[in-house]
Structure 1
Amino acid sequence: DTGMVQDSTHEEIISNLRSNLTQDVPSYMIPAVFIPVGNFPLSATGKVDRRQLRAIGESMDLAAFAKFNAAQNETHIPLTLREKQLRRLWCSVLKIDESLIAVDDNFLQKAGDSNAAMKLVTVARGEGLSLSIANVLKYPRLQDMAQVVETLENSQIHEIMPFELLSNHVDLNQALREAAALCNVQVDRIQDMFPCTPLQEGLISLSAKREGDYIMQYMLELRLECDIERLDEAWAAVVAKTPILRTRIVNITGQGLVQVVLDEQWTTLPTQGISLSQAKNQKHEF
């Protein structure tokens, strides 16, 4: 008999199996669900018939998998209000019944992938919960996720104000004047300044030694029917909404390399009457 079975003995075996696997292999290598069968189907040569085993799994829908998984977890532990709220959100995203989710269940093992994680974050925010995709993936167990949500929700997030990340030893007015001169703009055009990351500093240093190694340029050929005016307006809107596209890196006395965010408009460079190769090699003053 190769039919699926489920009893208390199997649940105990599976519980011990999960516990041992957790100690020996990464979480992503632990099966999402274990399906007990009466006997392994055998081929004519006496080997395990993997095709029949695969057919057993393929015959089950998501709800059936969830039912097996729920039976293999601690369904008897009462849920907190936050856990109940999260369980309801899980069900709305995964399209399964609440009775199939226990406090120890794993979102990823309930067929929750990265897309489902993004949906979960969206619906959670709709209910005033602070939840990130990173936390969904890092704390996939219902109980753990509920604790992270509460921690994030109760913590006060400090809003970093412009220029706040600069060193306290730096004279802000002097730094602004120096940055404005290096960027060839008025001081009031500078919206923010903050230190470069170590990676950025390293790449800048390497670029100075080997010009062009860490500079990337994309050139796209537009279709003839492309509305250039609308494209220009669209890209100007993107630049206005994306500070990194208005950021320059300069060296400030007493601070070192900093990122300078400017309030500047998108500029279209005249390139009519020249070839693509000529435009690519053409240098422009900013």
Structure 2
Amino acid sequence: MQIRKAVFPVAGLGTRFLPATKASAKEILPVVDKPLVQYAVKEAIAAGAEEMVFITSHTKNSIMDHFDRDYELESVLEADGKQELLTAVKDVLPDGINCVYIRQAEQKGLGHAIRCALPAVGDQDFTVILADDLIANGFQPVTAQMHRVYQGYGTSVVAVQRVPESETHKYGIVQAREIEPGVSEIEKIVEKPDPSEAPSNLAVVGRYILSPRIFRLLDKTGFGAGGEIQLTDAIHTLMSEQTVLAYEFEGVRYDCGSKLGYLQANVEMGLHHPEIGDEFRNYLKDFASNLD
């Protein structure tokens, strides 16, 4: 049961990063030396995906450009003997990986964006990765961790993590019954509940493995929290038909949809970077020592 297709909803306007995102997609913002969307694609490939389905808008041509071949640049790097850089450029999209781009004409929420993927996904189970949620430093990439759960139980899986109770209004929140350490059956899921009404502090983050049945349920899902078609609401309906699991992943999540989370990702990923990590660590120590 290998999942071959991964869906990336990347049509958002990125208003929290204006003016940086005025002419370029927020998913192209770099963390150290790779754009957010490249981390997401590499994670999908590591889990076995072969077709990347991008749900885009008219402002997201930079994503298509990034994953396109640049033969002129490759020729220059090869002629200059810059083999390491040439390898890095070619590795943006390895051989055998295909990209599909589908335009989301209107911004109607995450659920609507996922529904747009139907022509490319069809009747197959599929992965959804939100590039804003950069997750790193687990024992393996988080989507690969989720695939192990999916292969064991053969049903839909969503990634979850504990959040402060005061922040439940920012997430889909689940109430779940533990099956084994880290794996639970979802009994209830609510989109952005007030902390006083949240069933727990177990929050859904940007990774999903979903049955194609979700598409038909999204067709019947009306506008929910925030006046948008919420994927959470369709998952709630899906739970009446099949088991949906919550997986508490191993790794560190950076909310790169926020400026603070994005800066944290750059600092911490920079510290682990094989080329500059040690030098950057020494710089931060010197900088911190002068703060007082």
TM-score interval, smaller chain: under 0.3
- Structure ranking higher in strand proportion: 2
Higher RCO (Cα < 8 Å, 6 or more apart): 2
Bigger-Rg structure (1/2): 1
Tell me the TM-score normalized by structure 2.
0.19
Q: Comparing both structures, which one devotes a greater share of its residues to helix?
A: 1
